[in-house]
Amino acid sequence: MTTPSRPVLGLNRITKRFAGLTANDAVTLHLDKGEILALLGENGAGKTTLMNILFGHYTADEGEVIVNGAVLPSGQPRAAIKAGVGMVHQHFTLAANLTVLENIIIGSEPLWRLDSRRAEARARIADIADRFGLPVNPDARVGDLSVGERQRVEIVKALYREAQILILDEPTAVLARQEAERLFATLRGMTAGGLSFIFISHKLHEVMAASDRVVVLRGGKVVAERKTAATNPAELAELMVGRQVARPSRAAHPTGKPVVEAKGLSVDERGKRELDAVEFQVCEGEILGIVGVSGNGQAILGRALSGLARPSAGSLTLQGTDISLLTPRELIRLGLGRIPEDRHAEGMVGELAVWENAVLERLHEPTFSRRGFVRRSAARAFAAELIGRFDIRGATPETRTRLLSGGNMQKLILGRNLAARPRFLLANQPTRGLDEGAIAAVHAELLAAREQGAAILLITEDLDEATALSDRIQAIVKGRLSRPIPSIRADARTLGLMMAGVWEAHDAV
């Protein structure tokens, strides 16, 4: 349905360097009218930098941006907006305490007028919503909206400013699968109205499903350009990573005695039952996968198992002794490893050195402190050992942790947990936002820990990951857990039903 005509947008040999690092190296690409172009690349490949240059957030060191035949003055978002370029950021830039209408007109309405043209704006928003199939309620408070709805508001905001070219930075990072599919269907419909899109992604399946053309970025350079119809996920993966990657697969392995067991475990927060009488059992040498659509209680389950949320009922036992009321420090001392859901917010203190983060959980152990004083050489040696053993790239013990990439940060978190040979490991969304190479590394480490007898509870939204790693799988729906099924029986249809809350059919297991 899209017949590429003339390019509406061109990037000509864009180069951007950050202190010693070339984020974009002579990148040239174009976007045709009515086209959906996917910009594919691993984390750190330079995708976001490139789009920030295009939108004027950054100034390119070399090269130019051409919109509809005219060179865009660099470093001026206003010029980009005027030329019809809109950007939907990965982290939304909406004010939560304002209404949808206010968020949309803010910035495009003259600042010093009292008679703001709200009625007019309302009509235009209704028109946009109607024309492009983007229903929004102009009077809803943004803080009350779901992430999918907020994203829609961001898109409407760009269209309100008469954007003809929309850039979406990892638009599905925060969306559930159904929401993502809906988004891409909407974009497809909008191309018929003459709009053109660039979306940034590192997810192969959505690039295959939603784009007309793919530009693959690796190490700041364009390494390939393909018509989507003429390529396949395997080729794209190889182009993106630069080598063939295969996720490791799980070998059959006998499981041992139960290690961690939850019976009727419930957590109340702010008067609401967030976790409702969940039951599970994880055994030595076993990975138990918990799957579910985002926001169904994964976070609270993770917090309860990390010692950060107090159960209001039920029991959580480690080899028979109750641990439900213990603090994080006591859990760590008992040999529980925990990989947090959000590695930046909970996993690491970004401003501290790698060695400080490596030992932060275990500062009180005699290995790392004596009479209240940190044994710095022992801690540094430990960090150096983790860096070597877990292949943490770009790090020395002294490196500021913030400077590590997501994947390497995750390897550091894994290492900090696995080095202590935990009896139990909670892995909460361990590969979220990681690229293929890092995912393979994390999977290999989790499977190795399983081989060595660790009991692992894997909470994930990635069904491929759940089925590849887990021995048994349970679904989490509205704070409740289904009965487990063996992962060999976990086909897409069965898991889909379980995640929809239909699990009576499987109660026989």
Partner 1 sequence: MRFERRADVSPVALVLAPFAAILVALGLCSVLIAAAGVSPLTAYAEMLRGAYSSRLAVTETLTRASPLILTGLAAAVAFRAQLWNIGGEGQFYIGALVAAGLGHSLLAGFPVPVAIALLMAASMVAGGLLLAGPAFLRLRFGVDEVVTTLLLNFIVILFVGLMVEGPMKDPMAFGWPQSVPVEGDLRLPDLVARSRLHVGLLVALAAVAVVWVVQMRTVFGAETRAAGLNPRAAAFAGVPLGRTLMLVAGLSGGLAGLAGAIEVLGPTGYVTTNMSPGFGYAGIVVAMLAALHPAGVVAAAVFVATVFVGADAMSRATGVPSFIADVIMSVSLLAMLTALLFTTYRVRR
The size of the interface with partner 1 (CB under 8 A), counted in residues, is 37
Please list, residue by residue across 197-235, b when 16 or more beta carbons sit within 10 angstroms of its beta carbon and e when fewer do: bbbbbbebebbbebbbbbbbbbebebebebebeebeeee
Cα 21 from Cα 26, distance rounded (Å) = 14
- The span of 156-164, 309-317, 373-381, 474-482 binding partner 1 (CB under 8 A) equals 373-381
Of positions 117, 118, 131, 329, contacts partner 1 by CB under 8 A: 329
Helix (H, G, I), strand (E, B), or coil: what is residue 321?
Answer: strand
For residue 345, state whether it binds partner 1 (rule: CB under 8 A): yes
For residue 208, state whether it binds partner 1 (rule: CB under 8 A): no
For residue 348, state whether it binds partner 1 (rule: CB under 8 A): yes
Least gap, CB of 349 to partner 1 (angstroms): 4
Report whether 374 contacts 363 (CB < 8 A). Answer: yes
Least gap, CB of 409 to partner 1 (angstroms): 11
Indicate the residue among 360 and 502 with the shorter CB distance to partner 1. 360
Of positions 109, 120, 162, 351, contacts partner 1 by CB under 8 A: 351
Strand partners, 486: 472
Q: Could you tell me which residues come within 8 angstroms of residue 496 by beta carbon, excluding any fewer than 6 positions away?
A: none
For residue 79, state whether it binds partner 1 (rule: CB under 8 A): no
Report whether 210 contacts 170 (CB < 8 A). Answer: no
Q: Per-residue x/- marks for partner 1, 13-32, CB under 8 A?
A: -----xx-x-----------
Cβ neighbour number for residue 406 with a 10 Å cutoff? 17
- The span of 24-32, 230-238, 313-321, 327-335 binding partner 1 (CB under 8 A) equals 327-335
Least gap, CB of 302 to partner 1 (angstroms): 10
Q: Could you tell me which residues come within 8 angstroms of residue 148 by beta carbon, excluding any fewer than 6 positions away?
A: 175, 176, 179, 182, 183
Q: Strand 373-374 to strand 369-370: parallel, antiparallel, or no bridges (unpaired)?
A: antiparallel
Angle at alpha carbon of residue 308, lines to 302 and 309, rounded to 5°: 80
For residue 372, state whether it binds partner 1 (rule: CB under 8 A): yes
Indicate the residue among 164 and 408 with the shorter CB distance to partner 1. 408
For residue 59, state whether it binds partner 1 (rule: CB under 8 A): yes
Of positions 26, 173, 277, 360, contacts partner 1 by CB under 8 A: 360
Least gap, CB of 19 to partner 1 (angstroms): 5
Least gap, CB of 351 to partner 1 (angstroms): 5
Of positions 400, 423, 478, 483, contacts partner 1 by CB under 8 A: 400
Cα 325 from Cα 306, distance rounded (Å) = 10
Quick one: tokens of 63? 């090269």
Helical segments of 193-248, H only? 204-210, 233-241
Least gap, CB of 350 to partner 1 (angstroms): 7
**What order do you get walking across the sheet with 165-169 strand by strand?**
85-88, 165-169, 196-201, 36-40, 213-218, 221-227
Report whether 439 contacts 431 (CB < 8 A). Answer: yes
For residue 69, state whether it binds partner 1 (rule: CB under 8 A): no
Indicate the residue among 90 and 186 with the shorter CB distance to partner 1. 90
Indicate the residue among 120 and 398 with the shorter CB distance to partner 1. 398
For residue 337, state whether it binds partner 1 (rule: CB under 8 A): no
Nearest CA to 219 among 12, 22, 404? 22
Cβ neighbour number for residue 194 with a 10 Å cutoff? 10
Of positions 7, 10, 350, 406, contacts partner 1 by CB under 8 A: 350
Of positions 75, 194, 242, 295, contacts partner 1 by CB under 8 A: 75
Nearest CA to 351 among 415, 404, 394? 404
Site for partner 1 in 250-289 (CB under 8 A): none
Indicate the residue among 344 and 489 with the shorter CB distance to partner 1. 344
For residue 129, state whether it binds partner 1 (rule: CB under 8 A): no
Indicate the residue among 85 and 187 with the shorter CB distance to partner 1. 85
* Contact set with partner 1 (CB under 8 A): 18-19, 21, 57-59, 75, 306-308, 327-329, 331-332, 338, 340, 345-352, 356, 360-361, 363-364, 369, 372-374, 376, 400, 403
